[in-house]
């Protein structure tokens, strides 16, 4: 039986405080875990339709994002299946959400929407602080969000998702020092954790 192709995608804008939640989650996974080749981990930023080929190739898609559910700041929700596009479009915070909803619609129209969809989202506290950090209530949800993501990878049959022995445990301190202040990869590149190669999105 063939392995499921799994895409773990962080979307959002690092320049606007809590908008960066999804990308920071992907960075944390890249810093702290090793994954089998069928798992692609990508910093999708705000690239919108450029992400379509990667979404179309996936059997399972897990998205990290900051989403305005109308909840208390820092509230995390796990959204599954056909509810994912609905949640991403219900109350848009920025153009990146409009763009990614279009990605999902285009994938569905071409008959290549991933069979399994999961959104792990957190309610932002602050979006108007240009160049600002994640707020504490949002940053505190990163470790639980990563735990949920790893649970989904296990359900999808991705073996060997293991902690990197040299990585610090995912704690508030480790996130603040080792991940949050780390350098972000160029916007036109995406992580491929199976063999540590970079995928150039413009070549797709």
Sketch out the chain's domains with CATH numbers: 6-203 (3.40.50.1450)
Residue keyed to tokens 């969809």: 117
CB–CB of 138/122 below 8 Å? yes
pLDDT at 49: 82
Q: Which residues of the chain have pLDDT under 70?
A: 1-2, 89-98, 131-132, 159-160, 164-204
What is the rounded CA–CA span in Å between residue 158 and residue 106?
Answer: 27
- Cβ neighbours for 36, distance < 8 A, ≥ 6 positions apart: 3, 158, 159, 160, 161, 194
Q: What token pair was written down for 186?
A: 């160029």
- Give the N- to C-terminal CA distance of the chain in Å, as an integer: 27
pLDDT at 22: 92
What is the rounded CA–CA span in Å between residue 68 and residue 37?
Answer: 33
Compute how many other C-beta atoms are within 10 angstroms of the C-beta atom of residue 203. 7
Residue 190 host element (H or E): strand 189-192
pLDDT at 97: 53
pLDDT at 161: 72
């Amino acid at each position: 039986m063939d392995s499921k192709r799994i895409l773990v995608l962080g979307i959002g804008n690092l320049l606007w405080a809590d908008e960066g939640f999804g990308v920071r989650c992907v960075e944390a996974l890249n810093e702290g875990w090793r994954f089998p080749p069928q798992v692609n981990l990508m910093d999708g930023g705000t690239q919108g339709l450029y992400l379509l080929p990667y979404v179309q190739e996936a059997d399972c898609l897990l998205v990290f994002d900051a989403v305005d559910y109308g909840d208390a700041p820092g509230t995390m929700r796990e959204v599954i299946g056909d509810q994912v596009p609905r949640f991403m479009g219900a109350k848009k915070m920025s153009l990146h959400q409009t763009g990614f909803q279009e990605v999902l619609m285009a994938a569905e129209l071409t008959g290549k929407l991933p069979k399994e969809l999961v959104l792990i989202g957190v309610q932002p506290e602050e979006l108007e602080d240009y160049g600002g950090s994640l707020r504490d209530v949002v940053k505190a949800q990163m470790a639980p969000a990563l735990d949920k993501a790893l649970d989904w990878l296990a359900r999808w049959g991705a073996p060997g998702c293991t902690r990197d022995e040299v990585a610090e445990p995912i704690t508030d301190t480790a996130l603040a020092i080792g991940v949050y202040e780390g350098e972000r990869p160029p916007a036109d590149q995406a992580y491929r954790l199976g063999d540590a190669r970079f995928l150039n999105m413009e070549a797709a």
